[in-house]
A = this chain, B = another copy of it.
Amino acid sequence: MTDVLLRGGRPWGHEAPADILVRDGRIDRVAPGIDAPAAATYDIAGQLVLPGLVEAHCHLDKTLYGGPWIPHSADDTLAGRIGNDLGRRAELGVPSVERISALLGRMSAYGTTHVRTHTDIDPEVGLRGVEAVGEAAAGSPLDVRQVAFPQHGVLSNPGTAELLEEALKSGVEAIGGIDPAGGDRDPVRHLDLIFGLAERYGTHLDIHLHDGGSLGGWELELITERTKALGLGGRVAVSHAYALGELDAAAQDRLVRGFAEAGVALVTGAVYSYPIPPVKKARAAGVTVACGHDGIRDLWGPYGSGDMLERAMHLAYRSTFRRDEDIELALEAATYGGARVLGIDAYGLDPGHRADLVVVPVGGAAEAVVVHPARTLVMKDGSVLHN
């Protein structure tokens, strides 16, 4: 008997309060007044129950989380931040299994159950980041999936393409890309290379796109065309996509229609003051939108808590979402949207779904985002991680 009964909660999206019976790591029943013996019963009357939060874009390998405060030491340019990152990571012991483990522990206390993390791959660090994240993930109950990420370019950084392929051979779940035009200077070869790897290894693809304005918009077209031509719909995501937030409404409309047709998803964290993709418009067009922190306490910047409800607040706030149904779009990005991007099966709050649950002491979903209070209970695969 390992059944767990959560009594009296309000499962998000269900019309009425209901008990949730968990058996063998799955949700067995969701109904009011379940009368079943259980090894453990938790009274969560009136509290919101969400499916496990999904961190769809972070950089675990870079984190300094859990260590002493490290003052940011780069200048205000992108080149400065790149140089700072490359120059100081060895000095600070990055990547660090200890730091990554500390952050994963914090994330789980906040109710995150699934993580997609972009791990640096370059000739200097090799696959050490992939190994460190893998080691930390092996010691964590969370479902951690890595993107082999060419932070410092693919074409412009010889040896990287081979390492990306090596990472995929070693079992990394996705291949990354970054600014094919503005960064790597040859968008066609860059995209052909990473789409080719995604196709060959049957992996997901998640491309960092900071390039703005019409250049970034054009790259989004290239990505959409390739996704469609190769039939990779549902496996391709664009992270950040600042351009989409900058373009006019007509261009946004055209691009999101293309994403919806091709099956290209968007991942955003509403970071700093950078432009945010139009979440409401994208969702209305049927585009999957996911959410993630980007860096958390690392050489790129000191911010980030690991709390996906707080991150959803940033997304809702920066999107100027005030009404409950709008704010819930941000929560959807931090849950169901992320689950679709990562390809998590049996995700949700109905019988048969994995018992990945988080209980929040509020009455509703918008309030959970705005207030993001400490979690009452976190469950992964039916095991209570925090209570």
**A305-345 toward B: CB 8 Å interface, digit per residue (1/0)?**
10000000100011110111001000000000000000000
B-side contacts of A327, CB under 8 Å: 302
* Contacts known (A276-B273, A370-B302, A370-B303); A72 close to B318, Cβ less than 8 A: no
Interface of A is mostly: loop
**A158-200 toward B: CB 8 Å interface, digit per residue (1/0)?**
0000000000000000000000000000000000000000000
Segment 247-274 of A: residues with Cβ below 8 Å from B = 272-273
A301 at the interface (CB under 8 A from B): yes
B322 close to A366 (CB less than 8 A): no
B-side contacts of A213, CB under 8 Å: none
**A residues with CB within 8 A of B:** 68-69, 71-74, 76, 272-273, 276, 301-303, 305, 313, 317-320, 322-324, 327, 362-364, 366-367, 370-371
CB distance from A326 to the nearest CB of B (A): 9
B-side contacts of A272, CB under 8 Å: 317-318, 320
CB distance from A271 to the nearest CB of B (A): 8
Q: What's the number of copies of this chain in the assembled complex?
A: 2
B-side contacts of A370, CB under 8 Å: 302-303
A324 close to B71 (CB less than 8 A): yes
Bound form: Cα–Cα A139–B319 in Å:
37
CB distance from A74 to the nearest CB of B (A): 7
B-side contacts of A323, CB under 8 Å: 71-74
B-side contacts of A301, CB under 8 Å: 322
Smallest Cβ-Cβ distance to A299: which chain B residue: B322
Bound form: Cα–Cα A301–B322 in Å:
6
B318 close to A69 (CB less than 8 A): no
A69 close to B317 (CB less than 8 A): no
B-side contacts of A313, CB under 8 Å: 303
Bound form: Cα–Cα A324–B72 in Å:
7
Smallest Cβ-Cβ distance to A72: which chain B residue: B322
B318 close to A273 (CB less than 8 A): yes
B69 close to A363 (CB less than 8 A): yes
CB distance from A242 to the nearest CB of B (A): 13
Bound form: Cα–Cα A276–B272 in Å:
12
6 pairs across A/B with beta carbons < 8 Å? A69-B364, A76-B322, A272-B320, A273-B318, A302-B327, A303-B370
